[in-house]
């Protein structure tokens, strides 16, 4: 029994106890950007600031930028769903704000 516990990871133990492990939005964005950087110069960005309020309407709160071409690649991105598509958010992890 003790040996089985030593071989299991902390995430597995936490999942068994709580069902989910909380992850911050900042951590999800960082994981996503690291994964995208490995594929090329792409980044997940958040629109912000009062003068740029029109950005929320045009590209959404989160959008994907292709830095090598200097253009918006994808608009209205849901970071949690996008992270699951990329495989950087595990099934037992839940985003908390």
Question: Which range marks the domain in which residue 74 is found?
Answer: 22-96
* pLDDT, position 15: 55
Spatial contact of 61 and 75, defined as CB atoms under 8 Å apart = no
Q: Is residue 52 part of a domain?
A: yes
Q: Is residue 56 part of a domain?
A: yes
The total of structural domains in the chain comes to 1
Q: Is residue 13 part of a domain?
A: no
Q: Is 36 exposed, middle or buried (0-12, 13-18, 19+ CB in 10 A)?
A: buried
pTM: 0.72
| 32-55 pLDDT per residue, tens | 999 998 878 889 988 876 665 666
How many Å from the N-terminal Cα to the C-terminal Cα in the chain?
37
Rg (CA), the chain: 17
| 51-71 pLDDT per residue, tens | 656 666 788 889 999 988 889
Pick from 44, 23, 45: nearest CA to 86? 44
Residues forming beta bridges with residue 94, ordered by sequence position = 22
Q: Is residue 26 part of a domain?
A: yes
């Amino acid at each position: 029994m003790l040996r089985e516990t030593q071989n299991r990871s902390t995430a597995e133990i936490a999942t068994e106890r709580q069902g989910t492990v909380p992850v911050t939005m900042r951590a999800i964005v960082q994981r996503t950007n690291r994964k995208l950087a490995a594929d090329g110069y792409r980044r997940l960005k958040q629109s912000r600031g009062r003068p740029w309020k029109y950005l929320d309407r045009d590209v959404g709160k989160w959008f994907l930028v292709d830095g090598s071409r200097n253009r918006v690649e994808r608009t209205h991105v849901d970071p949690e769903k996008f992270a699951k598509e990329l495989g950087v958010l595990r099934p037992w992890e839940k985003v908390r704000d």
